[in-house]
Amino acid sequence: MLRRLFSNRRGFMQSALAVPGIGLGAQTATAQRKRRTANRDVLAELGVQPFLNAAGTYTRLTASQMPQSVLDAMQVAATQYVDLNELHEKAGDRIAELLECEAALVTAGCASALTLGTAACVAGSSVDRIRRLPDTVGMKNEVVLQKSHRNGYDHAIRNCGVRLVEVDSARDLESAINERTAMLFFLNHAERDGAIGHEEFVRVGKQRGVPTLNDAAADIPPADNLFRFTKMGYDLVAFSGGKGLRGPQSAGLLIGRRDLIEAARLNNSPHSDSVGRTNKVNKEEVVGMLVALEEFLARDHDKVWKEWEQSCKRIARTVANLPGVSTEMFTPEIANAAPHLRIRWDYGGAQLTAEQAAEELRQGEPAIEVRPRFSEGLEIAVWMLAAGDDRVVGRRVRSVLAAALRRAA
Ligand SMILES: *Cc1c(COP(=O)(O)O)cnc(C)c1O
């Protein structure tokens, strides 16, 4: 897919038509066409090993692939110059309309959305303050969150020079809020891990006049989550663009209150003297994000869900008749909430752990990456596989398990 991004097929077709037939045999033309349309495969040139993605939307594994329509729109945008601020504003307005919220900003991933949302709450739209971040002297510079909502991505919040204040209970939350409190942060997938749920969290924020930000990076599907949290009353909600939405991997969304989104924009690239200048998003990603979102919203989600289930079942059938092997479908309750397949085996003397099976899949041909979680068996994500690759994954898993069985015999 990516190969087409920089190809210029139309340009070639035009020049090919202009070539007079004299002296150009069919073979020569074909050979020439091959030469001129063959795009470089830089990954192959570098010897970087591609693999089938049965892992899911992991950034380290490059997460997701964009539909062709998104790549096409990015390619068109790539050949034109525009005013980036104008594009940000107009795309943001369109996204806000689609998501039925006040305002939206395309960011450089969800982590960037966390930085920009925090910067908006700390520095607002004041040019002087925007320039001073991450020096927050004299500004509201505390962000309150539940202890169980601490996670690696909160570094993106800390980049703004704020101090994270951890609380456990709703009473703690109330008493932690003071005149220095800039924002209340919620980690969507950790809702069950903390004592304070969405409604109470949002209510406290509103009562105390402190903006709330919900990080729902990997929590699409369900599609409804794109609307749910702003409607619930969160002032800001952040999503990854390159996970379930299948937009550009280096894009994300910050949506919510108009004044805060406007401030986030001012704290962002292309404004040079801002904390977000390191989070550059160019026109291709802005356009790609918008088109990916449109595609996603127009999708028949039930149909796609059934296809994912079919893929799981196909892989399950491929390995099911091996002795000692059992399979089950499961859907994570939150974060990457799509159907997955879990495969377990009991081979008695055979020394094959799920981790070793994963390593064999990684080393095989074609290489396959599975979910990097092995405590309950081998876990396969099907939702980022290209059409037909579920069969390849099924065959490869079967051959790895069958080989271990033979070794045990
Ligand atoms: C993936 C993720 C992020 C970062 O998202 P990017 O789009 O990769 O920047 C932030 N928070 C959570 C909870 C995530 O899962």
Q: Ligand 1: distance of its center to the CA of 355 in Å? A: 25
pLDDT tier at 350, thresholds 50, 70, 90 = low
Q: Which atom of ligand 1 is nearest to the CA of 189?
A: 13
Is the pLDDT at 15 greater than 60? The verdict is: no
Q: Is the CB–ligand 1 distance for residue 110 below 6 Å?
A: yes
What is the arithmetic mean of pLDDT over 357-380? 97
CA contacts within 13 A on the Cβ side of 60: 5
What is the arithmetic mean of pLDDT over 343-351? 79
Q: Closest by alpha carbon to 3, among 63, 75, 77?
A: 75
DSSP string computed for 289-321: HHHHHHHHHHS-HHHHHHHHHHHHHHHHHHHHT
Is the pLDDT at 1 greater than 80? The verdict is: no
Q: Is the CB–ligand 1 distance for residue 252 below 6 Å?
A: yes
**Of 58, 59, 105, 193, best ligand 1 pocket probe by most atoms within 8 Å of the beta carbon:** 59
Which positions ≥6 away from 84 have C-beta within 8 Å?
A: 270, 282, 283
Which positions ≥6 away from 383 have C-beta within 8 Å?
A: 56, 244, 308, 338, 339
How much of the chain is helix, strand and coil, in % rounded to 5?
Answer: 50, 15, 35
Tokens 């070539």: give the residue: 19
C-alpha distance across the termini of the chain, in Å: 44
Q: Which atom of ligand 1 is nearest to the CA of 240?
A: 7
In angstroms, the CA 186 to CA 196 distance is 10
Structure tokens that stand for 30 in this block: 């074909």
Query: Residue 49 — φ and ψ, nearest 5°?
Result: -80, 115
pLDDT, tens digit, for every residue of 259-278? 999 999 999 999 999 999 99
Q: What is the mean pLDDT of the chain?
A: 92
- The confidence score (pLDDT) of residue 265 equals 98
Q: Ligand 1: distance of its center to the CA of 150 in Å? A: 13
pLDDT, tens digit, for every residue of 62-87? 999 999 999 999 999 999 999 999 99
pLDDT, tens digit, for every residue of 167-217? 999 999 999 999 999 999 999 999 999 999 999 999 999 999 999 999 999
Q: Ligand 1: distance of its center to the CA of 348 in Å? A: 40
What is the arithmetic mean of pLDDT over 145-150? 98
Q: Is the CB–ligand 1 distance for residue 77 below 6 Å?
A: no
Q: Closest by alpha carbon to 74, among 392, 295, 359, 347?
A: 295
pLDDT, tens digit, for every residue of 303-315? 999 999 999 999 9
**Of 64, 220, 240, best ligand 1 pocket probe by most atoms within 8 Å of the beta carbon:** 240
Q: Whose CA is nearest to atom 14 of ligand 1?
A: 217
Neighbours of 47 (CB within 10 A): 6
Q: Ligand 1: distance of its center to the CA of 125 in Å? A: 25
Q: Are 379 and 340 in contact (CB under 8 A)?
A: yes
- The confidence score (pLDDT) of residue 409 equals 76
In angstroms, the CA 217 to CA 235 distance is 16
- The confidence score (pLDDT) of residue 326 equals 95
Q: Ligand 1: distance of its center to the CA of 59 in Å? A: 8
Helix H, strand E, coil C: the string for 8-39 is CHHHHHHHHHHCCCCCCCHHHHHHHHHHHHCC
Q: Which atom of ligand 1 is nearest to the CA of 216?
A: 13
In angstroms, the CA 189 to CA 166 distance is 17
Q: Ligand 1: distance of its center to the CA of 239 in Å? A: 7
Q: Are 250 and 108 in contact (CB under 8 A)?
A: yes
Q: Is the peptide bond before 222 cis (omega within 30 degrees of 0)?
A: yes
pLDDT tier at 347, thresholds 50, 70, 90 = confident
Q: Is the CB–ligand 1 distance for residue 111 below 6 Å?
A: yes
Q: Ligand 1: distance of its center to the CA of 187 in Å? A: 10
What long-range pairs does 301-308 form, CB within 8 A, spacing at least 24?
301/221, 301/222, 301/223, 305/221, 305/338, 305/339, 308/338, 308/339, 308/382, 308/383
DSSP 125: T
**Of 115, 153, 384, best ligand 1 pocket probe by most atoms within 8 Å of the beta carbon:** 153
- The confidence score (pLDDT) of residue 396 equals 98
Q: Is the CB–ligand 1 distance for residue 215 below 6 Å?
A: yes
Q: Closest by alpha carbon to 165, among 152, 137, 184?
A: 184
Q: In what order do the strands lie in the sheet with 378-381?
A: 325-330, 340-345, 378-381
pLDDT tier at 28, thresholds 50, 70, 90 = very low
- The confidence score (pLDDT) of residue 351 equals 77
